[in-house]
Amino acid sequence: MSDVTALLHAGLLVDDLARARVFYESVLGLTRCPNRPGLPYPGEWYDLGGGQQLHLMQLANPDAASVRPEHGGRDRHIALAVTNMAALKSRLDAAGVRYTASQSGRAALFCRDPDANTLEFVEVN
């Protein structure tokens, strides 16, 4: 039995924090956490519920020149639960964000944020 019990946060690197905030707040509808400490680099923390957070860090990306696969499911990614996939698709379409359906047949899709970080969205009820 593992002593690991939960994923508390995932951290993603971004080049332009203002651009990333538009995507995560306006397109995805995430809410910023007000208690991010004064770290030595710009960033934002977002509350995902259940004590989980998404951290954006405006830092140099050591993998910026890497070639990414067309389908996000074949790349490193984080998976986020959504309750209304149709609404998410509408917001992504309105923002011009490309996405692909899960190749497993699940109610899931993959997209990339403005910095090419891959996000998977899985519909849960």
Give the model confidence (pLDDT) of 70-91 as tens digits. 777 778 899 999 999 999 999 9
Rounded mean pLDDT of 8-13? 96
- pLDDT at position 69, please? 78
Enter the pTM of the model: 0.91
Residues 84-96: b if buried by 16+ CB within 10 A, e if exposed: ebeebbeebeeee
| Confidence label for 116 from pLDDT (cuts 50, 70 and 90) | very high
Tokens of 107: 């109610």
- pLDDT at position 67, please? 84
Give the model confidence (pLDDT) of 22-70 as tens digits. 999 999 999 999 999 999 999 999 999 999 999 999 999 888 778 887 7
- pLDDT at position 106, please? 86
Domains of the chain: 9-60+68-123 (3.10.180.10)
66 burial class (0-12, 13-18, 19+ CB within 10 angstroms)?
A: exposed
| CA distances in angstroms from 122 to 10, 39, 66, 125, listed in the order given | 16, 32, 26, 10
Q: Give the start-end residues of each E strand in the chain.
A: 9-14, 31-32, 43-49, 52-58, 77-82, 99-101, 108-112, 118-123
DSSP-derived 3-state class of residue 20: helix
- pLDDT at position 83, please? 94
Please state, in angstroms and rounded to a whole number, the distance separating the CA atoms of residues 72 and 64: 16
Q: Is the dihedral of CA 19, 123, 73, 59 positive or negative?
A: positive
Chain length of the chain: 125
- pLDDT at position 1, please? 81
- pLDDT at position 61, please? 87
